[in-house]
Structure 1
Amino acid sequence: MNHYIDVILAIPLENMFTYSITKAESQFLKVGMRVSVPFGKTKIHTGLVGAIHTNPPLIYDAKEIHQILDEKPIVTSKQLEFWQWIAKYYMCTVGEVMRAALPNAFILESETLISRNLKKEIKDTDLKDDEYLVFEALHHQSSLKIQEVSSILDKKNVLPVIKRLIEKEVILLQEEIYDKYKPKYVRYVKLKAEYTSEVGLHQLLNDLSRAEKQKQVVMTLFSIAAKTKKPVKVKDLVEESGSSPAIVKTLINKGFFEDYHIQTDRVQYEGEDNEATKALNAYQIEALKQIKTSFETQNVTLLHGITSSGKTEVYVKLIESVLAEGRQVLYLLPEIALTTQLVTRLQNYFGDQVAVFHSKYSAHERVEVYNHVLGNSAKAKIILGARSSIFLPFHDLGLIIVDEEHEQSFKQFDPAPRYHARDAAIVLAHLHQAKTVLGSATPSLESYNNAVENKYGLVEINRRYNNVQLPDIELVDIAEKYKKKRMKGHFSDRMIEEITEALDEGYQVILFQNRRGYSPIVECNICGHSPECPNCDVSLTYHQFRKQLRCHYCGHTNAMLLKCMACGTSNLDTKGFGTEQIESEAKTLFPKAKVARMDLDTTRGKYGYEKIITALEQQEIDILVGTQMLTKGLDFRNVKLVGVMNADNLLNFPDFRAHERSFQLMLQVSGRAGRTKKQGKVLIQTYNPYHKILQQVSINDYLGMFKEQLQERRDFKYPPFYRLIKITLKHRDYNKVETASDWFAKSLRQVFKANVLGPEFPGVSRVRNQYLKNILIKIPQQQSLGKTKEAIKKINTSFEAIGPFKGVRVILNVDNY
């Protein structure tokens, strides 16, 4: 009897491919192991065993596999079940889910580039013959394709050799060659074990009686270690003792000290005793009790707690009870920026049981965390991560916490799978028979509606921690201020007055402007020409710091123009303003204050967020100017004033969620103010202070906003009453996109009648030289979602078979929010 396996490949294929295996291989292989297989004419791919059976394929002859890459499965059966659900629900292939779910180091392909790891010293004796040949070849060439390695070793299957070289850290994969975030090692020093006792230390000091400076360094090391109870950096020891690195080196050479390195970008827990978790106040105790009660009947509970009400401490108590049962916890956050503060807090409570997983970690670090979770290691009982951490191989998940559940960062837009981590997390919890807590001060309309309709449990905390008052929110009419000439740049007299008062009292200030750069438009005052991006339909943003015009869609840059490209005059002016301009105006208006900026430009590095957040916490910054990164659940104790520089560009956005998002953003940024005893102040500058949303923000009226927006959604057929699927067509040729989108929309209308909108060009209709056209399908609650998707897939299959439309890319985006 012949034996076969179905293999999932990390490419967008509808079906799994069947390969033949021997009887012995069939007894060894398990679902979830990796195999290297031939695919196409010459390519070798890493695939994942999806099924083992004895049924030959009917359409083609099954090829043999090349090699088995694992000794035990690296993907669990629950993970595969979850992948299948994601692929089906979000209309993509399991291969695309596999590509998103597995760290890059697990998916080797014949076209993957490898290069030498220059940071690691390798001894020839550590390498086998075939490994040495590859290592030697990389001395003569900076990088090799895996196909080239195949010809060097004169054998087809080279993936096991590559795998061994990766494990020995001899080579790096292509993804890491361009990795901007280089691991950083910090050198630490400690007393050798025999000198740590009182007798040993006494003996050591006797031995050094003549070497006064060395003795001084030993005493300093002992006192720092006793005081901080933490590992001591060589740098700190040299500074504290007033000596030099040479003396430390001498003590290491004599065998009195021992040095070691810690890679600081891995989340290391270096404490000793875990802090006791904080005692909850009456409102938090009541909330915890209500959550546990709601879990008896509901699988999902929404915790609606106002900003600074202490939701994190409630989560911590829930985590404690799940860990006591020996189960794992997934704590999802929308933004990497948040992990910095939260990692510290959770590690203080739970020590090294906390593992962190997000995209700014290198491939090796991601593999390490993945393996800890797979092995149900004690180092990965609590996973703190961004949206991609829902794909980790959980062994026994007991609780998922989705913090700031309203955030749009939980939705993946490109590439496929275009999943929403909050919704997918609820399904993942269901597979593990776990509970889910969604937390937010400004819940999304969908979640709050589900809670109101009793699909979710609802628990509310309406008081801030320590009974601190909510900030006083004031709307400033800048139309009137401009008329009365009471503006200095983009600062109203009220804003200047409040900032001055806060700084004089020793408090800090946050200024929010949802645009980075200096100015979004550069315009000629004579002919009105404005420089635009050659690849996208947008004007170029002026970045003063680099004297550059930059496109925020494709990254195209130009040097700042000295004269107009159209009429040649040098009368150029900037229109609108971004964070850079606010930063420079703040420096001019408040020359004594330390002003910093937090946006995508200043946080590109691995530690970008950390540096700015730490500087603000340690009060090295007086005024922080930033984009919406600032709004996400960060806890700054000394911020008294928050200024929103212009509320109108949030409100006047062509999107059915614009008002809901504006409310959430402004209330969240307001929540950064006055988190200690003194009441905070929020100033919102606007041309339209009587706008309904701004009025609701000023009195913290979430319920008013919810009811009003819900009615609008009902009237205009939007979620939560209708589901949305957005179909985007993309091509370089404008006419091709026009005719293709018309054909697609007509075909959809034959099936769905009136609930098809478009095709329409989006606000930015050309990005990276590709024209875009959108079609929106609205699906009423009574209409079968499964059958709707099947109909769309059939139309898409017919579309792909039409010759003139060849090359037009179709992107399906389910639940487009």
Structure 2
Amino acid sequence: MLHFIDVILPIPLQKAFTYHITEAEAEFLSVGMRVAVPFGKSKIYTALVYSIHQNPPLAYDAKTIHQIIDDTPVIVASQLKHWEWIANYYMCSLGEVMRAAMPNAFMLESETMISKNEKTEILDSELKDEEYLIYEALSRQSSLKIQDVVSILDKKRVLPIINGLVKKGVVNLHEEIYEKYTPKLVRYVKLHHNHKSSEKLQELLEVLSRAPKQREVVLTLFTMEAALKKPIKVAELAEKSGASTSIIKALIDKSILEEYHLQMDRVQFEGEGDASAKRLSEVQQLAYDEVEAVFQEKPVALLYGVTSSGKTEIYVQLIQKQLDLGKQVLYLLPEIALTTQLVNRLQIYFGEKVAVFHSRYSGNERVEVWQNMLANSEKAQVVIGARSSLLLPFRNLGLIIVDEEHEQSYKQFDPAPRYHARDAAIVLANIFKAKTLLGSATPSLESYFNARQGKYGLVELKTRFNNVLMPDIELVDLADKYKRKRMKGHFSDRLIEEMTETLDEGFQIILFQNRRGFSPIIECTTCGTSPQCPNCDVSLTYHQYRDQLRCHYCGYNSAMLQTCQACGNATLDTKGFGTEQIEAEVKTLFPDKKVARMDLDTTRGKYGFEKIITGFEQREVDILVGTQMLTKGLDFRYVKLVGIMNADNLLNFPDFRAHERSYQLMAQVSGRAGRTDLRGKVLIQTYNPHHNILQQVSTNAYEAMFTEQMNERHNFKYPPIYRLIKITFKHKDYNRVNLAADWYATSLKQLFKTNVLGPEFPPVSRIRNLYHKNIIIKIPPQQSLARTKEAIIKIDNSFNAVKDFRSVRVVINVDNY
């Protein structure tokens, strides 16, 4: 009887791949274990066992697996079910979902090793210079990795040279597998067992009387062991006894002390959890009871609470209830910046039951969270994370909280799976028969529409905590201010006046500008030329702090030009402004105040956010300038004034959600002002103060905005009435992209008639030397989504069968908004 397994490989394959296993392996293996398998000519991948059966594949001969990596499964059945839904709904392969879900350290990769072929003799003259360098390196050491060859030759393309050596029979290639996860070991020390009895200890101290420092270490260790009743770290002992590590090492070498290692988690929570959460106010208690009532009837509730209404406190009560029932809770956040503030708040309540998972954590830290969850340990009962934490192995999920559910950061754009965390969360909760709570001060139109339709329950919190008034919002007409010469740089006289007043009272200020860098365009005033990125159709942004021009799409950078490349004149001027320029202007206006900037450039490191947020919370910084990172639900006590530098570039964005997004962004930024007892103030600078959205923001008229936007969505057939699927074509040849997109669109139009838009070039049509072209398919409410996707897959398969189109990359993005 032959035995086979189907595996999921971490690459975009349409089907699971089958391998041959022995009977013993078949008995040992179970679904969700990792196995190393050969794939292609010489690659070895980590794959997950998907099913075990006895049907040989028809199209190819099954290879045997390389090795079994686990003793127990690393993923659970409910998780696999969720992955399948994501792959199916978002039209990608299971392998891509696996790649996104599994921490990199779980993926054993094979590393190609190069070793010398001892059997062939070759004359040095027969080798080219570069080949000789590799050959010589191999005569000094037994094997090289590809990366070593790259550094020896100091060039990226080394494979042709290695292949040349293989053809000449000089070297052999073989794959070596290595595990990426290394547990963190901490050195501990204890008294050697020979000296445990009191007589032996007396003897020892007498022997050591001539070495006072060593004797001090032994005495310190003895008192620490007695007092602490727990293992003693080498580092702690050195610190307590004031001895250097070399003295401790000498004692270990003499067998007076012995060292041992224990495995530790990299992320530790110090301190106690304080279970007595804050008491809810009457309004909050009412909202909490309403949420509980909704959960009796519906699986999803939308908590629509204005900014600073105390939604987090309600979440805490709901989490506590689930923990009492012995269930896990997932708390999703849109932005890594938010996790820092929130983790601290939740750890005060729940202690070390809180686990954090997001992409700024190292691979090893993520593996530890994953393993704690598989073991259903106490350390992973409340999981806080960005969208990727949806894909973790939950055991017993009771509740998912999606905070700031309107945020576009919940949607993954590249690489596949292009899932939306809010929608995937509702499905995950459904698998566990758990509840989902969506929270926001400015709900997305889809969620509010679903709540209005009765699909979700709706709970509203209309007052701020402590009954603080909503901030006073004032619109400043820039056209008028420029005309009357009342501007200093990009600051109107009103803004400077309010800023001076706020700073004099000892409060803090947030300034919002949705562009990083110093200025987005450099232009020659003589001939009008502006420096463009060589790889993308976009002008380069000037970054003053590095004095360079950078492309925000591909990362290309060059030193700032001194003269115009076209006409040679030194008449280069900056157009437009970003956060850097605002920061520079604020420093000139208020030289004695501390200014900080929070954007992608200043928060690159793992603790980048923490430093800035903590500095601002502890009032070391007076004015914080930033991009939309600032809008994501951060809670600062002493902010009294918020300035939006230019509202127009938000509103005039070519996207059907531009108005909804602008409303959400401005309402969220405004919500940072006046969060304790004083009423905050918001100034919005704009050239068009009569714009509907700005009027709605200034009066907090969410319902009016909702009604107006929904009318437009009805008339122009956009979500949430119609569904969208966007198909993007990418290729470095302009004509081929055009041909491919036209062919595809013609096939689609035969099926979906007028509901196919395009193909059309996007505003930035070339990125990283690839031309982009888009098609949008609109799916009416009555049309079956599953059948539509089947039709698209059929067209896609026949598209890939055309030889000329194979090199064109097709990206299918379901619900691309």
Q: Which TM-score tier does this pair reach, normalised by the shorter chain? A: 0.7 to 0.9
2-structure distance, mates of 1:569, 1:155:
56
* Residue 716 (structure 1) aligned with residue 732 (structure 2): no
For 1:5, the equivalent position in structure 2 comes to 5
Asked if the contact 2:644/2:685 (under 8 Å) is kept, the reply is yes
Moved more, 36-45 or 758-767: 36-45
Alpha carbons of 1:373 and 1:273: their partners in 2 closer, same or farther (altered >3 Å)? Answer: closer
Contact 2:182 2:364 in 1 (8 A): no
* Aligned CA distance change for structure 1 residues 143 and 167 (closer, same or farther; 3 Å): farther
Report the counterpart of residue 416 of structure 2 in structure 1: 416
Q: Is the 8 A contact 2:404 2:632 kept in 1?
A: yes
* Cα pair 1:113 1:143 within 8 Å, conserved: no
Q: Which residue of 1 aligns with 2:297?
A: 297
1:88 aligns with 2:99: no
Q: Classify the secondary structure of the residue corresponding to 1:727.
A: strand
Q: CA deviation at 1:711?
A: 0.7
Matched residue type, 1:300: V
Q: Give the RMSD, CA atoms, in angstroms.
A: 3.5
Deviations 1:451-483 (A, max 9, x none): 000100000111111111111010000110000
The Cα offsets for residues 649-679 of structure 1, whole Å up to 9 and x where unpaired, read as 0000000000000000000000100001111
Deviations 1:259-278 (A, max 9, x none): 99999995421113525211
Contact 1:472 1:679 in 2 (8 A): yes
**Structure 1 counterpart of 2:58, which letter?**
L
AA partner of residue 795 (structure 1): I
TM superposition shift of 1:156:
7.9
What are the Cα deviations for residues 397-438 of structure 1, in whole angstroms up to 9, with x where unaligned? 110000000000000000110000110010000001110000
1:279 corresponds to which residue?
279
CA–CA distance in structure 2, aligned partners of residues 556 and 251 of structure 1: 51
The 1:668–1:112 alpha-carbon spacing in structure 2 relative to 1, beyond 3 Å, is farther
Look up the equivalent residue of 2:365 and give its one-letter code. E
Q: Are the counterparts in 2 of residues 252 and 258 from structure 1 also a CA contact under 8 Å?
A: no
Aligned partner letter, 1:459: V
* Cα drift, residue 308 of structure 1: 0.5
Contact 1:640 1:674 in 2 (8 A): yes
Query: What residue in structure 1 maps to residue 402 of structure 2?
Result: 402
Provide the residue aligned with 1:598 in structure 2: 598
Look up the match of 1:665: 665
Q: What is aligned with 1:129?
A: none
Q: Is 1:473 aligned to 2:448, yes or no?
A: no
C-alpha contact 1:563 1:571 (8 A) present in aligned 2: yes
The separation in 2 between residues aligned to 1:665 and 1:35, in whole angstroms, is 46
Assess, with a 3 A threshold, how the Cα gap between structure 1 residues 233 and 754 changes in structure 2: closer, same or farther: farther
Change (3 A) 1:611 1:112: farther
CA contact (8 A) 1:138 1:144 kept: no
Question: 1:54 aligns to what?
Answer: 54
Is the CA contact (8 Å cut-off) linking 1:328 and 1:381 kept in structure 2? yes
Find the counterpart in structure 2 of residue 124 from structure 1. Answer: none
For 2:264 and 2:762, locate their aligned partners in 1 and report how far apart those are by CA, in whole Å. Answer: 44
Once the two structures are TM-superposed, the CA of residue 139 in structure 1 deviates from its matched residue by 10
Matches within 5 A, 1:620-639: 620-639=620-639
Cα gap change, 1:266 to 1:334, in 2 (>3 Å): farther
Deviation at 1:578, TM superposition (A): 0.2
The answer for the alignment partner of 2:19 in structure 1 is 19
Letter of the 1:724 counterpart: L
- The aligned runs of 1:243-282 (5 Å cut-off) are 266-274=266-274, 276-282=276-282
Aligned partners of 2:273 and 2:352 also within 8 Å = no
Instruction: Give the match for residue 325 of structure 1.
Output: 325
Listed one character per residue, the Cα deviations across residues 704-724 of structure 1 (whole Å, up to 9, x for unaligned) are: 111110110011000000000
Matches within 5 A, 1:144-159: 159=177
Cα distance in 1 between the residues matched to 2:182 and 2:519: 48
Tell me, in whole angstroms, the C-alpha distance in 2 between the residues paired with 1:598 and 1:816: 28
Letter in 2 for 1:778: K
| Distance in 2 between residues matched to 1:234 and 1:727, nearest whole Å | 57
Within 5 A, what are the aligned runs for 1:648-659?
648-659=648-659
- Structure-2 residue corresponding to 1:725: 725
SS in 1 for 2:695: helix
Structure 2 counterpart of 1:440, which letter? S
Name the structure 2 match of 1:528.
528
CA distance in 2: counterparts of 1:113 and 1:339, whole angstroms: 41
1:113 shift after superposition: 9.1
Deviation of 1:607 after TM superposition, in Å, equals 0.7
1:806 positional shift: 2.6
Find the aligned partners of 1:794 and 1:292 in 2 and give their Cα distance: 45
In structure 2, how many angstroms separate the alpha carbons of the residues matched to 1:536 and 1:340? 35
| Letter of the structure 1 residue corresponding to residue 702 of structure 2 | Y
Residues 254, 60 of structure 1: alpha-carbon distance in 2 compared, 3 angstrom cutoff: closer
Q: Give, as a single letter, the amino acid of the residue that structure 2 aligns with 1:6.
A: D
Deviations 1:733-780, CA, capped at 9 Å, x for gaps: 001111111111111000000000000000100000000000000000
The 5 Å alignment of 1:303-702 reads 303-702=303-702
- Please tell me the residue identity of whatever aligns with 2:403: D
Residue aligned with 2:355, SS: strand
CA spacing shift, 1:37–1:647, aligned 2, 3 Å: same
Tell me: CA distance 1:692–1:262, structure 2 relative to 1, closer, same or farther (3 Å): farther
Share of identical aligned residues, percent?
Answer: 66
Q: Which residue of 1 aligns with 2:154?
A: none
Task: Return the alpha-carbon distance in structure 1 between the equivalents of residues 258 and 365 of structure 2.
Answer: 26
Question: What is residue 66 of structure 1 aligned with on the other side?
Answer: 66
Residue-by-residue CA offset, 1:231-280 (whole Å, 9 max, x unaligned)? 99999x99xx9xx977999999999x999999999542111352521100
1:401–1:438 Cα contact (<8 Å) kept: yes
Alignment coverage as a number of residue pairs: 741
Letter paired with 1:454: G
Q: Which ranges of structure 2 fall in alignment gaps of 5 or more residues?
A: 115-140, 151-158, 163-168, 190-208
CA contact (8 A) 2:473 2:698 kept: yes
Partner of residue 77, structure 2: 77
1:799 corresponds to which residue? 799
Aligned pairs for 1:193-204 (under 5 A) are none
Q: CA–CA distance in 2 between the matches of 1:767 and 1:88? A: 29
Maintained 8 Å contact 2:541/2:551? yes
Contact preservation (8 Å) 2:599, 2:629:
yes
Q: 2:196 is matched with which residue?
A: none
TM-score with structure 1 length normalisation?
0.85
Q: Distance in 2 between matches of 1:258 and 1:608?
A: 40
Unaligned runs of 5+ in 1: 115-135, 171-184, 190-206
Q: Deviations over 1:361-414 (max 9, x none)?
A: 111111111111111111000100000000000011110000000000000000
Code of the aligned partner of 1:272: E
How far the C-alpha of 1:167 sits from its partner, in A, is 3.8
**Cα deviation, residue 79, structure 1:** 1.2
CA distance in 1, matches of 2:531, 2:743: 35
> So what's the TM-score if we normalise by structure 2?
0.85
User: CA separation in 2, counterparts of 1:516 and 1:109?
Assistant: 37
* Preserved CA contact (<8 Å) 1:6 1:16: yes
**Aligned ranges 1:119-134 → 2 under 5 Å:** none
Q: Find the aligned partners of 1:233 and 1:64 in 2 and give their Cα distance.
A: 47
Find out whether 1:756 has 2:748 as its counterpart: no
Distance 1:744 1:511, change over 3 A: same
Q: Which residue of 1 aligns with 2:117?
A: none
Aligned residues of 2:184 and 2:264 also touching (Cα < 8 A): no
Q: Which residue of 1 aligns with 2:128?
A: none
Cα distance, 1:65–1:261 mapped onto 2, change above 3 Å: closer
Work out the CA distance in 2 between the residues paired with 1:699 and 1:262.
59
2:659–2:693 CA contact under 8 A, matched in 1: yes
Farther-moved stretch of structure 1 (245-254 vs 309-318): 245-254
Task: Describe the shift of the 1:302–1:138 C-alpha distance in structure 2 as closer, same or farther (beyond 3 A).
Answer: farther
The whole-number CA distance in structure 2 between the counterparts of 1:519 and 1:347 is 41
Contact (CA 8 Å) 1:523, 1:529: kept in 2 or not?
yes
Q: Secondary structure at the match of 2:402?
A: strand
User: CA shift at 1:326, angstroms?
Assistant: 0.7
Q: Is the 8 A contact 2:188 2:234 kept in 1?
A: yes
Q: Which deviates further from its counterpart, 625-634 or 737-746? A: 737-746
Structure 2 CA distance for partners of 1:378 and 1:489, relative to 1, 3 Å? same
